[in-house]
């Protein structure tokens, strides 16, 4: 098991569109475990492979307080989303320290493969629905700040670039 470096916005690798997972081997199982370890260590509730510079359609999620409900979604597709939408305050491990409102569907149904390649369908609402939509955006090369106004996005970019520069100095 290993902690993986998390890419930080505005790293251009975060804009890559992830490719479908086609091989379910030991390498994939190790990657899944490393992603969970990284997510828990960073105190996150979701992590997309794109955020750790793997460009495959893989997401790990655990919205439970005790970290005892790990969820693996491989090649996820939203097959239904509720017409009801709400503005939710979101944060992101790739945009540290920044939180802002993003409008998302209240509920979704997702078809995906699990870690063994078995097909499953999951219905989610509340925090889990928001988390799934947020992480699936990463697989499409989209970071939540792209939902914000250009002014807010540029302020966030400037702040994070400055923080990254100071961290390297």
Q: Which residues are annotated as a binding site for Fe cation?
A: 92, 134, 138
Helix, strand, coil: what percent of the chain each, to 5? 35, 30, 35
Distance (Å) of CA 114 to CA 15, 60, 122, 160: 25, 10, 11, 34
Vertex 95, ends 3 and 58: CA angle to 5°? 55
Q: Residue positions in the annotated binding site?
A: 92, 134, 138
User: What residues act catalytically?
Assistant: 135
Token reading at 55? 């460009």
Instruction: List the end-to-end C-alpha distance of the chain, in Å, as a whole number.
Output: 30
């Amino acid at each position: 098991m290993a902690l993986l470096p998390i890419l930080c916005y505005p790293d251009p690798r975060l804009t890559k569109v992830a490719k479908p997972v086609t091989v379910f081997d030991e390498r994939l199982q190790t990657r899944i475990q490393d992603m969970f370890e990284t997510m828990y260590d960073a105190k996150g509730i979701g992590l997309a492979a794109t955020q750790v510079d793997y460009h495959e359609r893989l997401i790990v999620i655990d919205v439970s307080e005790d970290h005892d409900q790990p969820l693996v979604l491989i090649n996820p597709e939203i097959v239904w989303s509720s017409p009801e939408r709400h503005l939710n305050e979101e944060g992101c491990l790739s945009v540290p320290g920044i939180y802002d409102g993003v409008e998302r569907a209240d509920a979704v149904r997702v078809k995906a493969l699990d870690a063994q390649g078995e097909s499953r369908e999951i219905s989610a609402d509340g925090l889990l629905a928001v988390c799934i939509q947020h992480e699936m955006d990463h697989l499409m090369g989209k970071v939540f700040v792209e939902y914000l106004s250009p002014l807010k996005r540029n302020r966030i970019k400037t702040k994070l670039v400055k923080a990254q520069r100071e961290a390297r100095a």
